Amino acid sequence: MNTFEVRKLKNELASAAALACVILALIPLMYILFEVVKTGAPAISWQFLTSRTVGTGGPGEGIGNAILGTLLLLFYASLIGIPVGLLTGIYVSEYGNNRIGYTIRFFNDVLANFPSIVIGLLAYALVVDLMRLGFSLIAGSFALAIIMIPIVSNTTEEALRMVPNSLREGALALGVPRWRATLKVVLSNGRNGVATGTLLAIARIAGETAPLILTAFYSSYWSASLTEPIASLPVTIFRNYNSPSKVLLEQAWGAALVLIMIVLSINISVRLLLRNRTSNGKREVMKTWKARLSRKA
C-alpha cells in the first residue's frame, strides 16, 4: 500500500468517525424531541393555547397567559441584554487590546459560567429587594438579560474576529472613521455570526426556570405590567410536572412542546431574514459592478 492509499484510508476513517460522532450526538436529541411531541401533542388545542392557567387541573385550563409571559420576558430581556452584549463584543474585538479589554473578557467568561440560580439570587437582591419592585416582569427580564450578555458578547467578539483585516484596512485607507468602518464594514460582514450568538442566547434563556421563580414568580392571570408577577412556560412546566394530577402532567408536556416550537420559530425566522438580506446584498453588488463595467465600455 503506497503513501497515497494510506492517506486516503486515514481520510475515510476520520470521516466515518466524525459521522459516527454526529449520529451519537443526534440520538439523545431526537429521542427528546420524539418524547415531547408524542406526549405533548395530545394536549395541544386552541382552547389550551388561549386559556389561562390556574393550576387546579380543571376543565378549560390552558397556557395562554404563560405563552404571553414568556414572549414578554424574552422581548424585554433581549431589549436589555442584546444591545449591551453587542456593544461589549464590538469593543472587546475592535478596541480591547488593553487592560480594560482583558478585564472585560475575564468577567464575561466568569459570568457565562455562573449557575443561573445565582444570577436569579442577584436579580432578587437588586430588583426585588433593594429596589422594592417585588416579583415582577422587569425583575425576571433583568435576570434573563444578565444571562444573555456574556453569550452575546463572546459570540460577537468571535464573529468579528473572523472578518478579514483587509476589509478594515481598506475602509480606513479610504478615510472612513474607525467607528463607522466597524459598524458598516466589520459588523455588516459578521452579522451572521452575531445573529447566531443572539439566537443561542435566546434559546438559553427561554428554558430558564430558577431565575424566574426568584424574580417573576408566577401568576394565574393575564398580565403585561412590568411591576407585577407574570406566568411563564418554564415555571408552568415546573409546577404542573410536580403535580399529582394527570391533567396537569399532560399540560406540562404540552407546554414543553409549545416552548420548543417558539424557540424553533424564532430561529427559522431570523435565519430566513438573514438569508434574504444576504442574497439581496449580493444582488446589489452585482448590479453595481455591471453598471461600472457598462460605463467603462
Question: Which domains are assigned to the chain?
Answer: 65-242 (1.10.3720.10)
Q: Output DSSP code: residue 44.
A: -
* Terminal CA-CA length for the chain: 57
Greater confidence (297 vs 175) lies with: 175
The grid coordinates listed for 139 are 425583575
At residue 291 the predicted structure's pLDDT band, cuts being 50, 70 and 90, is low
60 Cβ contact partners less than 8 Å away, ≥ 6 residues apart: 47, 51
Q: Please state which of the ranges 23-32, 53-62, 218-227, 274-283 shows the lowest mean pLDDT.
A: 274-283
Question: How many Cα atoms occupy the beta-carbon half-sphere of 272 within 13 Å?
Answer: 6
Is 211 within 8 Å of 139 (Cβ atoms)?
no
For 160-169, the pLDDT digits (tens) are 888 888 888 8
Average pLDDT value for the chain: 84
For 255-267, the pLDDT digits (tens) are 999 999 888 888 7
Whether 77 has a pLDDT exceeding 90, the answer reads: yes
The grid coordinates listed for 296 are 467603462
Among candidate residues 112, 90, 92, 94, the one with its CA nearest the CA of residue 102? 92
Residues 63 and 183: their CA atoms lie apart, in Å, by 41
Is 232 within 8 Å of 216 (Cβ atoms)?
yes
At residue 285 the predicted structure's pLDDT band, cuts being 50, 70 and 90, is very low
Kindly state the helix (H) or strand (E) to which residue 82 belongs, with its residue range.
Answer: helix 64-95
For 104-141, the pLDDT digits (tens) are 888 888 888 888 999 999 999 999 988 888 899 999 99
pTM, full prediction:
0.83
Segment 35-62 mean pLDDT: 83
Question: How many Cα atoms occupy the beta-carbon half-sphere of 100 within 13 Å?
Answer: 8
Residues 283 and 186: their CA atoms lie apart, in Å, by 20
